[in-house]
Amino acid sequence: MLKMVRRWTCLEWRNEEESSVNCIFILSIKEELPDRYQVWVKLAKNLPTLVEEGQFREEAEQLPELSIDELQGYKEQRLAHLALSVITMGYVWQDRNVLPRNIAVPFWNLSEKLGLPPIMVYADCVLANWKKKDPLGSMTYDNMDTLFAFPGGDCSKGFFLVSLLVEKAAASAMKVIPDIFEAVKKKNSESLKESLQSVASSVYEAYKTFQLVHVYLFSLFCFSWKNCSLLPKGLIYEGVSEIPKEFAGGSAAQSSIMQCFDALLGIQHTTENDEKSAKYLEEMRNYMPSPHKIFLEAVASHSSVRDFVSSSDDIQLKKAYNECVKALVHIRNYHLQVVNKYIISPSSKQDSEKGQKSSDDEVKGTGGTNLLIFLRSVRDTTKRALLEES
């Protein structure tokens, strides 16, 4: 198990220049596909212009139906999934409830190969959708851009890139996971304390990076066709099934790193009052790339960190564990603040201007869930995970 965790923590390393950043979940993909597939990238890149000119649907319907068999390797497959997810979004935005087979068949087959749903997920629009302007420069906001643009222009770009930078800041905690498991196995409190302190500082770094997001409005463009009034039965994937299929839209709950810390620290979202959130978090694991899902299961099945710390009489060790939990509570509190400020308040203001009653229950987040209640529930369960320091 430890070998698997060690292997996964270098699974998607960046190239050497970024070797300092152990980005298990972030993927530095190519910007191009082999010539025959470049039509997907080209159409996806031109989405904003073509949608504005009302040409997108026609261009999409003229795409050749391509087999996915000549996509070489994981990085090309992830770039192709990202490009097809953008094309699918654009096509559904043209008020279509049937995705033509020239898009639906390769998208469905590629999604199955990657263990992803045939819809845009967090791993597409955040973890894969980025490049450095100057390849030799560092991974800072000013030296980065998204591979594909979306309506909302700089807002959606900012939203995705800040999410990525939060992930990158937190990902530096990944490299200590094998040391944490080794310390628990060897009952080495000193080593465990050091590693937990390192995790806490990485999550605090992520919290500080998250505070950049006040600059960018939260984008709610992410489309869902599950419990969605525009596509009440879901989307028909022509050539795959005549029965419409429902899939949830992109969501923070699809952030593998968001769930990784809960798995590592043994924070269980299973109490009856957040059963709905626990089910949603579990469901969103099916919206993560297979290696991420397997990694989370490996961490959760292996992690007895909480049990070891709870049963220890080393107060400093309990404090180090609680520092990790407090850092998670901070980032989740901030997430709630930002959602309140950029989604709830504007939405309520908009509804009151239109004379409509709005309530939390009507607010839908980027994942088609009631984002506010979900985030509160996750934050409260995290708070309850604090250990007595006596």
Ligand X SMILES: C[C@@H](C(=O)Nc1ccc(Cl)cc1)[C@H]1[C@@H]2C[C@@H](n3cnc4cc(F)c(F)cc43)C[C@@H]21
What is the contact surface with ligand X in residues (CB under 6 A)? 122, 125-126, 159-160, 162-163, 166, 170, 203, 206, 210, 213, 222, 250-252, 255, 257-258, 261, 328, 331-332, 335, 366
What single-letter amino acid sits at 135?
Answer: P
CA distance 210 to 204: 10
Q: How many CB atoms lie within 10 A of CB 124?
A: 27
Q: How many CB atoms lie within 10 A of CB 118?
A: 24
Least Cβ distance, residue 69 to ligand X (angstroms): 29
**In whole angstroms, how far apart are CA 3 and each of 12, 155, 296, 382?**
16, 40, 14, 28
Least Cβ distance, residue 217 to ligand X (angstroms): 11
Least Cβ distance, residue 170 to ligand X (angstroms): 3
214 is annotated as contributing to ligand binding: no
Query: How many residues does the structure list for the chain?
Result: 390
Q: Is 16 exposed, middle or buried (0-12, 13-18, 19+ CB in 10 A)?
A: exposed
Least Cβ distance, residue 280 to ligand X (angstroms): 13
- Closest to 312 measured CA to CA, from 197, 198, 194, 188: 188
CA distance 95 to 264: 42
Q: Which residue number, 126 or 281, has a Cβ lying nearer to ligand X?
A: 126
- CB 144, CB 129: distance < 8 Å: no
Q: Which tokens is 255 given?
A: 């952030």
Q: Which residue number, 105 or 123, has a Cβ lying nearer to ligand X?
A: 123
- CB 366, CB 213: distance < 8 Å: no
Q: Which residue number, 203 or 288, has a Cβ lying nearer to ligand X?
A: 203
- CB 378, CB 261: distance < 8 Å: no
Q: Which residue number, 63 or 373, has a Cβ lying nearer to ligand X?
A: 373
Q: Which residue number, 176 or 236, has a Cβ lying nearer to ligand X?
A: 176
- Please give the distance of CA 18 from its chain centroid, rounded to a whole number: 21
CA distance 387 to 324: 11
- Closest to 2 measured CA to CA, from 298, 292, 291: 298
Q: Which residue number, 56 or 223, has a Cβ lying nearer to ligand X?
A: 223
Q: Which residue number, 71 or 171, has a Cβ lying nearer to ligand X?
A: 171
Q: Is 251 exposed, middle or buried (0-12, 13-18, 19+ CB in 10 A)?
A: buried
- Closest to 25 measured CA to CA, from 142, 124, 108, 110: 124
Q: Which tokens is 280 given?
A: 């949603």
The CB-nearest residue to ligand X is 250
Q: Which residue number, 77 or 254, has a Cβ lying nearer to ligand X?
A: 254
Least Cβ distance, residue 200 to ligand X (angstroms): 11
Q: Which tokens is 373 given?
A: 């209640």
Least Cβ distance, residue 5 to ligand X (angstroms): 18
Least Cβ distance, residue 144 to ligand X (angstroms): 15
Q: Which residue number, 103 or 162, has a Cβ lying nearer to ligand X?
A: 162
- Mention every residue, 6+ apart, whose C-beta is less than 8 A from residue 322: 386, 387, 389
Least Cβ distance, residue 164 to ligand X (angstroms): 9
Least Cβ distance, residue 233 to ligand X (angstroms): 23
Task: Indicate the annotated binding residues.
Answer: 335
Task: Indicate the annotated binding residues for heme b.
Answer: 335
